[in-house]
Chains A and B, each alone.
Chain A
C-alpha cells in the first residue's frame, strides 16, 4: 500500500507541478489519468526516487520513500516515460546487466530470471538482436521486462502505451495485467482506455491536483444517466457550448457529435447514452477548469 500525503512540488522556474497531492494506492493496478503536463510524470518520478518533493510524505508499506531512497529502489520497478537503449547491445546482455544491478547476484539465478522475463515478454526469439533494431513496441516490452526484474513490490509505468499501435498496446496491457496481485502497480497515462481496460482503481490528476479517485466502475456510476449526446451542425457548436456543459465533441460525418453532462434532459435532439470512463474524465477536467475560472473571477 502506497500512501501519498500533502505532496507539493514547485520547480525552480516557478511551475507548480504538484499541489498538495493526497492519494492512497492499494495493491493491484492503479491508473493515473491526466492530460499532458498534468504532473503525472513529476509524481511518478518522485515516487521512483528520481526527484525531490518540497513537502509532504510518501510511504510504501512503512518505508519513507522520500528519505529511504536506497530501500525503496530495492523493491521498485520503474519504466520511465522517456526511455532509450544502447543501440549496439542485445536485450539478453542488457537485461542480465540490469538484473545484477537489481541485486540478483548469482549468475545461474540471473540467467533463469532473464530467460523467464524474455519469454514472458515474447522477446526470447530476438534476445540476441541489438536493441537498436527493436521496434517501439518491442522496446516497451523490454522496458517492462527490465522493470519486473527482482519481483518489485512497487511497479511504476509512466505513459507506456503512448505511440504504440493498437496491437502492440494490447500486447503491452496484457503483460501488465499479469503482474501479481500483491504488487502496487501505478500506470500513468493520458489514454482513457488503458485505465478502463486494466485498472481496478484510478485517479484523475490535472494541474498538479488530484481531482478524483475511485474504482472506474464506481466513478462511472456517479455520472450514469447524466450524459447526453446530440449531432449538430458545425456552426451550432458555440451556441451549445454556451448553453450546456459540453464535455466532449467529435466530428461525425461532417457534423459534430457533442456529449453534454446534464442531470436532467437537456431538451430536444439530445439522446441519453451510457456513460463511460471518458465521460467521467472529460467531465472532471471540465469541472476543474470551471472551478478555476470561478476562483480566478
Chain B
C-alpha cells in the first residue's frame, strides 16, 4: 500500500505542469551560472574551476534555499490537495494505514523535489561542456562531488524543509499558513547568515543554519584554489552535527504530522463548525411572515465625489483586511527582527561597532530587508488582487455600479500602506535602537527623507506586481512573472545592462553621507523616480483596461473590453503617461548620455583592455620626470566644479634626448596643455592618451616647463557612479584623478586571467620581478616623478576650508572666495590631494609637531583617540626609526563614499565611515581608530621616506611595515592579549582570502600589491618576527635600512635589500624563520591533544602537555607539500586572576617559552607555580596556523599517581 501511494504521488507530480516549469528553470539557473557571467550563485572566482567540487557544493546548497519556495508547492500539495478538492473523505474511508498514507505522500513529494535538483546538477554538467566557456576555467568531470552534495546537502535540506512544510500543511490545511512557514525558514537562514559575520561566534552560528551552507563555508573558509578544485570537506565535526541535527529535526517534525492526521480530528472540526451554524440558525428564528419590502428613502449618487468616497472607503477596507491579518503582524515582526539583527550583526571592523548614527541606521534597510520587502509586496499583490475571487465574492463586486479604477486603486493603496507600515516600523525600530544605545542625536528630517527614498522603489514595484497579477489573470503566473522580473533585473545588472532608463524602478544609488547629506544624488533620484512614476501610471492604466471584470477571462473578450474601456481617465493616464515617459526619458537621456558619457560596466572593461592593447608598447619609453609642481586650484563646491592651473617643472634624467611626450589625461575633464613647441602625433579622446613630438628634443639633463589647465565640470547628472571628487561638502580628490600624468599606466591593466583571455590579452606579470633593475627606475606610486617640490594655492567657497599637503603660508578672502596657500619645505612624492569642506578643527602639538584634525562638527567621539595615537606613533617612530620629515600631521575627514584612510605627505584624509564614529566605550573593543591612525602616521616613514621600486614586494615596504609600526604602538598601549585578538582577525582574513586569489599567491617579500598578503599576512609575520628576534634587534636594523634608502633616487629599493638588513640582525639559528615567513608560503597545523596537571607536594603544579606540530609549504595555487618540523615554537601555560571591577578573570602567563620542536608529536612536562587553566602550543597565535582555535586546551586534573612520584 505504501508503495502504491508513493508511486501515485510521484506520478501525480510528474503530470503537473508546475514540475515541468520549475525543473527547467532550475536547470537553466545552474547552467547559466556555470556557462556565463550573467548568473551568479556564489561560486568560481579567478582560478577556481566553474565546475569544481567547491562550486558544485555551493550551487546546489544555495539552490536548496531557493528550492524552499518551490518545494512548498509540491510537499504542501501532497497533503492539502485532498482537503482542497474535498477528496479526503474518499481517502480516509478506505482501509489505508495512516502511516502508509503520510509516509508515501511525503516520500513521493520529496523524491519529486530531489528530481528538480537532479535537473540542477544536469545544468552544471551541461554548462561546463559548452564550447564558449573558457576551457581553462573548467576542470575534469567528476561524479563524486555531485553524489556528495546530494547526500550531504541537498537531500538532508529537502528532508528538513519538507518535514516542516508537510507538518505545517497537515495541521493548517491551508496554503497561506504554510507560506508563513516558508517565510520563517527564510528568516532563520538570514539570521544565521548575519550572525556568522562575526568571527567569534561562527561555529555556534553555523549550527543554527538549517541548510548547512554556513557549516560548509566554515569548513572551506581557508581553502586554497587547489583545494577548491579537488577536495570535498570531510563530513565530521560541526558539519556532521549540523547535518544530523537538522535532518533529525525535519524527520521529527514530519512525525508530528501523524498527530494532525488523527482521523477524528477533521471530523471533530467539521462537527464544531456545523454546531456553530446550527446555533446561528436557531438564533434567527423560525419561518415568519415577511413584511412587504419598503426601504427608507435615500438618494443614489454616482458622481465623481461619491466615487472618491467609495475609493477611500474601499482602500481603507482593503488595507484593514491586510493589516489586521495575523500574517501581516508576523511579517511585520519579522521585518523588525531583520532590522535589529542587521544592526546586531552588521559589518564591524575587528569586532568593534560604530555609534548608531542615522546614516548607518538607514543602511540597515538594504540587503535582506529590501529583499524581504519585495517578497512581501509580491505576496500581497497576489492576495489583494485575488481577494474577492478567493471567497467567490467577485461576481457581486463586479456587478456593482463602481467605476473600474476604484477597486484597482484601492488595492494599490492597501499595498502602499503595507509597504509604508513596514518601513515605518523599521524606522521606529532603528530609532528604538538608537535610544536604547543611549544615542540621542535623533535626526527626524533625515529619517523622513530616508523613509521617502526607500519607499519610492517599493511604491513603483507595487504597481508592477499588481499589473502582473491583473495582466496574467492567474495568481501563480503573477507570482512567477514578479519573480522573473526580480531575477531578470539581477541578471541584467550582471550582464552590464545597467542603464536605469530600461530597468524598471531603476535609479542611481543615493549614498548618504553625514557630511554631505544626499548631496547632488537627489537630482537624478528625483528625475528617475518621476520617469518610472509616469511608466507606473501607464501600467496602472493598462491594468484598468485588462482587468477581468465579470466571469469571462478569454483574451479575445479582454481585448474587446480593453478597447471599449480605452476612454476617459484610463485613456488619459496611458496617453499622457506615455508622452510624459518619453519626454522625461529624453531629458534623462540627454543628461546621462549626451551631457555626460554613459559607459556600461563591460564597456569599461573593454576600454581598459583597449588601453593596454594600444599603449602597452610605450611602457618602457624614456620620459622626462617631474621635479616641481605648482598649482592653483579653485574648488566650487556648490557647482561641483574645479578649475586648476598647474605647472610642472620637468627634467630629462636619462642619458638620451627625449623627443616625445606621452600623456594621460582624464577624458571627462577639459584639459589644456602649454609647453615648448611641439606637434601632436596622436590623440585618443576616448581613452585620454596623447603623444606629442617636441620640435626641439629635451637633451639629457635639460629642464622644461609644462603648464596645464583643467576644468572639471559635472553638467546634468549621470546614470551611475557619479564622481564624488567634488561635492557640496566634503570634496576629496588626488592629483591622479584630474591632472595629466606621463607615460603608460601599467596599473590600469586587467588582472583576472579569465578576463584577459576574454579580451585577447596575453598573460603578463602583475608586477616586474623583484630584482628587475630597469623597473626599479620608478617607485611604485608614481612613474613620472621622483621627489618633487610642491606648492599650491587652493580656493573654495567662504564657508569651507580647503586643504592640500604643505604648510599654510597665507589665508585670505577675495571676491567672496577663501584662499589657502600651502607650501612644502622638503621634497615629497608626486602624490597629493585636495580637500574642501565645512570643517571644525581640533589642534594639539607634540614635540614641535603640530597636530590638526579637520572634522565634521558632530563627529567628536574619537578625536582624542586620534590625537593620542598620533602622539604615541610619533614617539615610537622617531625613537626607533628616523626623524619625522615634516612639522605637522593633519587628519582630514571626508564623506563615506569611500571608507579608507590614506596617507599623503603630512596629510591624512580619513573617511567618516571609519574611526570617527567607532564606538570604543566598551573597553574590550579593539581600538581600530588608534590602530588606523598609527598605521597612517607610519606611512610618513614607510612610503614617504622609504619607497620601494615598482617591483614585487614594494607594498611590503610600505603597507606591511606600516602595519608593523602600528602594531608596536598598539601593543604598548593595549598589551599583548589585545594583540592576540587583533592578530586573529588578521590571520583569519589572510587565510580566507587566499582562496579567492585571481592570479597566484606569492610569498610576502614578493607580494604584488595583494592586500590580504601585505596587510594581513604582513601583520602576522612581522609580529612573529619581532617576537622571535626582539624589537631591540629588529628596530635598529630597520633604522639602518631607512637611513640607507630614505628619499633615495632611482634605482629604488626592494625587499631583497630590506632582507639583508633584517637577516643581519637575526641570529643564525632563527634565520630559517625568514625563509618561512618572507621567502616561502608556510603554514602550520599545530594543536594540543592532551593537557593535564597534577598538584605537587610543594604546592606547585606539574603540567603534562601533548601536542602535534605540522608544517607545510604551499605553492601559488595552494598545493601543499609537508616539510619536516624543526622549529622553535611557543609553548605556554596560563592561569587566571580575578580583577576587581571586572566580571571575567584576567589571564596570567605562568609559562611561555619557545621550545625546539622536532617531532610531529611531542609530550612535555612543565612545572608552574599556580593553578594552570589553559595550556597550548603557539598559544598566542603567532604563526600562520590553519586552525588557530585548537592551539589551546583547558588543562584538566590528571591521575595523581605516576607524575607526582617522579
Interface residues of A (CB under 8 A from B): 11-12, 45, 48-52, 67, 70, 73-74, 76, 78-80, 82-87, 97-98, 100-106, 109-110, 112-113, 116-117, 120, 122-123, 125-126, 129, 133-135, 137-138, 143, 146, 148, 150-151, 167, 170-171, 174-175, 177-180
**30 pairs, A vs B, C-beta closer than 8 Å:** A51-B550, A51-B552, A52-B552, A52-B561, A70-B403, A73-B402, A76-B399, A76-B401, A83-B395, A84-B391, A84-B392, A84-B393, A87-B391, A100-B309, A101-B314, A101-B400, A102-B401, A106-B299, A109-B298, A113-B295, A116-B294, A117-B295, A122-B288, A135-B277, A148-B293, A150-B300, A167-B286, A171-B290, A174-B289, A180-B293
B569 within 8 A of A: no
Let me know if A174 and B280 touch, CB within 8 A.
Answer: no
Measured in the bound complex, the distance between the Cα atoms of B317 and A126 in whole Å is 21
Let me know if A73 and B561 touch, CB within 8 A.
Answer: no
Residues of A within 8 A of B313 (CB): 97, 100
Let me know if B298 and A110 touch, CB within 8 A.
Answer: yes
Measured in the bound complex, the distance between the Cα atoms of B288 and A171 in whole Å is 7
Residues of B within 8 A of A80 (CB): 395-396, 399
**Which listed residue (A83, A87, A116) contacts B296, Cβ 8 A?**
A116
Q: Which of B278, B284, B292, B403 has the most CB of A within 10 A?
A: B284
- Nearest neighbor of A180 in chain B, beta-carbon distance: B293
Residues of B within 8 A of A106 (CB): 298-299
- Nearest neighbor of B407 in chain A, beta-carbon distance: A101
Residues of B within 8 A of A67 (CB): 564
Let me know if B301 and A120 touch, CB within 8 A.
Answer: no
Residues of A within 8 A of B283 (CB): 125-126
Which residues in chain B, 394-437, are within 8 Å of chain A measured between CB atoms?
395-403, 406
B763 within 8 A of A: no
- Nearest neighbor of B279 in chain A, beta-carbon distance: A133
Measured in the bound complex, the distance between the Cα atoms of B280 and A48 in whole Å is 31
B276 within 8 A of A: yes
How far does the Cβ of A172 sit from chain B's closest Cβ, in whole Å?
Answer: 10
Let me know if B551 and A105 touch, CB within 8 A.
Answer: no
Residues of A within 8 A of B550 (CB): 45, 49-52
Residues of A within 8 A of B321 (CB): 86
Residues of A within 8 A of B1069 (CB): none
User: Could you give, for residues 370-406 of chain B, a 1 whenever the CB lies within 8 Å of some chain A CB and a 0 otherwise?
Assistant: 0000000000000000000001110111111111001
User: Could you give, for residues 1167-1189 of chain B, a 1 whenever the CB lies within 8 Å of some chain A CB and a 0 otherwise?
Assistant: 00000000000000000000000
- Nearest neighbor of A124 in chain B, beta-carbon distance: B284
How far does the Cβ of A144 sit from chain B's closest Cβ, in whole Å?
Answer: 10
Measured in the bound complex, the distance between the Cα atoms of B277 and A253 in whole Å is 35
Residues of B within 8 A of A98 (CB): 396, 400
Measured in the bound complex, the distance between the Cα atoms of B1042 and A131 in whole Å is 88
Residues of B within 8 A of A78 (CB): 395-396, 399
Measured in the bound complex, the distance between the Cα atoms of B324 and A87 in whole Å is 13
Residues of B within 8 A of A73 (CB): 399-402
Residues of A within 8 A of B400 (CB): 73, 98, 101-102
How far does the Cβ of A160 sit from chain B's closest Cβ, in whole Å?
Answer: 13
Let me know if A50 and B395 touch, CB within 8 A.
Answer: yes
Residues of B within 8 A of A48 (CB): 395, 399
Measured in the bound complex, the distance between the Cα atoms of B400 and A80 in whole Å is 12
Given A105-B301, A133-B276, verify A85-B296 contact (CB < 8 Å). Answer: no
Let me know if A138 and B280 touch, CB within 8 A.
Answer: yes
**Which listed residue (A12, A123, A125, A175) contacts B556, Cβ 8 A?**
A12
Given A106-B299, A122-B285, A129-B280, verify A83-B306 contact (CB < 8 Å). Answer: no
Measured in the bound complex, the distance between the Cα atoms of B284 and A167 in whole Å is 12
Let me know if B292 and A178 touch, CB within 8 A.
Answer: yes
Which residues in chain B, 305-360, are within 8 Å of chain A measured between CB atoms?
306, 309-310, 313-314, 317, 321
B297 within 8 A of A: yes
Q: Which of A70, A170, A179 has the most CB of B within 10 A?
A: A70
Measured in the bound complex, the distance between the Cα atoms of B393 and A139 in whole Å is 12
- Nearest neighbor of A71 in chain B, beta-carbon distance: B401
Given A12-B554, A122-B285, A174-B287, verify A101-B402 contact (CB < 8 Å). Answer: yes
Residues of A within 8 A of B391 (CB): 84-87
Closest 6 pairs between A and B when the two form their complex, measured CB to CB: A50-B550, A80-B395, A84-B392, A109-B298, A73-B401, A84-B391
Let me know if A52 and B557 touch, CB within 8 A.
Answer: yes
How far does the Cβ of B393 sit from chain A's closest Cβ, in whole Å?
Answer: 5
Residues of A within 8 A of B300 (CB): 74, 102-104, 150
Measured in the bound complex, the distance between the Cα atoms of B290 and A177 in whole Å is 9
Interface residues of B (CB under 8 A from A): 276-278, 280-281, 283-302, 306, 309-310, 313-314, 317, 321, 391-393, 395-403, 406, 549-552, 554, 556-557, 560-561, 564
Residues of B within 8 A of A178 (CB): 290-293
How far does the Cβ of B1070 sit from chain A's closest Cβ, in whole Å?
Answer: 79
- Nearest neighbor of A49 in chain B, beta-carbon distance: B399
Given A83-B396, A101-B314, A113-B296, verify A122-B284 contact (CB < 8 Å). Answer: yes
Given A74-B302, A105-B309, A113-B298, verify A170-B395 contact (CB < 8 Å). Answer: no
- Nearest neighbor of B282 in chain A, beta-carbon distance: A135
Residues of B within 8 A of A49 (CB): 398-399, 550
Let me know if A101 and B393 touch, CB within 8 A.
Answer: no
Q: A112-B298, A148-B293, A167-B287 are in contact. List 10 more A-B contacts (CB 8 A).
A: A12-B556, A50-B399, A84-B391, A101-B314, A109-B299, A120-B291, A125-B284, A143-B396, A177-B290, A178-B293
Let me know if A123 and B284 touch, CB within 8 A.
Answer: yes
Measured in the bound complex, the distance between the Cα atoms of B279 and A177 in whole Å is 27
- Nearest neighbor of A171 in chain B, beta-carbon distance: B287
Let me know if B402 and A50 touch, CB within 8 A.
Answer: no
Residues of B within 8 A of A129 (CB): 280
Q: Which of B281, B292, B399, B402 has the most CB of A within 10 A?
A: B399
Measured in the bound complex, the distance between the Cα atoms of B560 and A162 in whole Å is 34
Let me know if B560 and A170 touch, CB within 8 A.
Answer: no
Residues of B within 8 A of A170 (CB): 287
- Nearest neighbor of B277 in chain A, beta-carbon distance: A135
Measured in the bound complex, the distance between the Cα atoms of B286 and A171 in whole Å is 9
Measured in the bound complex, the distance between the Cα atoms of B397 and A83 in whole Å is 11
- Nearest neighbor of B281 in chain A, beta-carbon distance: A135
Residues of B within 8 A of A137 (CB): 281
How far does the Cβ of B287 sit from chain A's closest Cβ, in whole Å?
Answer: 5
Measured in the bound complex, the distance between the Cα atoms of B396 and A143 in whole Å is 9
How far does the Cβ of A146 sit from chain B's closest Cβ, in whole Å?
Answer: 6
How far does the Cβ of A186 sit from chain B's closest Cβ, in whole Å?
Answer: 13
Measured in the bound complex, the distance between the Cα atoms of B295 and A281 in whole Å is 36
Measured in the bound complex, the distance between the Cα atoms of B296 and A146 in whole Å is 15
Residues of A within 8 A of B285 (CB): 122, 125
Measured in the bound complex, the distance between the Cα atoms of B293 and A151 in whole Å is 10
How far does the Cβ of B342 sit from chain A's closest Cβ, in whole Å?
Answer: 34
How far does the Cβ of B605 sit from chain A's closest Cβ, in whole Å?
Answer: 51
How far does the Cβ of B174 sit from chain A's closest Cβ, in whole Å?
Answer: 12
How far does the Cβ of B307 sit from chain A's closest Cβ, in whole Å?
Answer: 9
How far does the Cβ of B999 sit from chain A's closest Cβ, in whole Å?
Answer: 62
Measured in the bound complex, the distance between the Cα atoms of B557 and A83 in whole Å is 23
How far does the Cβ of A154 sit from chain B's closest Cβ, in whole Å?
Answer: 11
Q: Which of B276, B292, B293 has the most CB of A within 10 A?
A: B293
Measured in the bound complex, the distance between the Cα atoms of B552 and A11 in whole Å is 9
Let me know if B280 and A135 touch, CB within 8 A.
Answer: yes
Residues of A within 8 A of B309 (CB): 100, 105
Let me know if B284 and A126 touch, CB within 8 A.
Answer: yes
How far does the Cβ of B406 sit from chain A's closest Cβ, in whole Å?
Answer: 8
Given A85-B393, A116-B296, A138-B284, verify A52-B560 contact (CB < 8 Å). Answer: yes
Let me know if A82 and B302 touch, CB within 8 A.
Answer: no
Measured in the bound complex, the distance between the Cα atoms of B264 and A122 in whole Å is 35
Residues of B within 8 A of A102 (CB): 300, 400-401
Residues of A within 8 A of B549 (CB): 50
How far does the Cβ of A28 sit from chain B's closest Cβ, in whole Å?
Answer: 14
How far does the Cβ of A248 sit from chain B's closest Cβ, in whole Å?
Answer: 29
Measured in the bound complex, the distance between the Cα atoms of B395 and A79 in whole Å is 8
**Which listed residue (B281, B397, B399, B560) contacts A138, Cβ 8 A?**
B281
Let me know if A135 and B278 touch, CB within 8 A.
Answer: yes
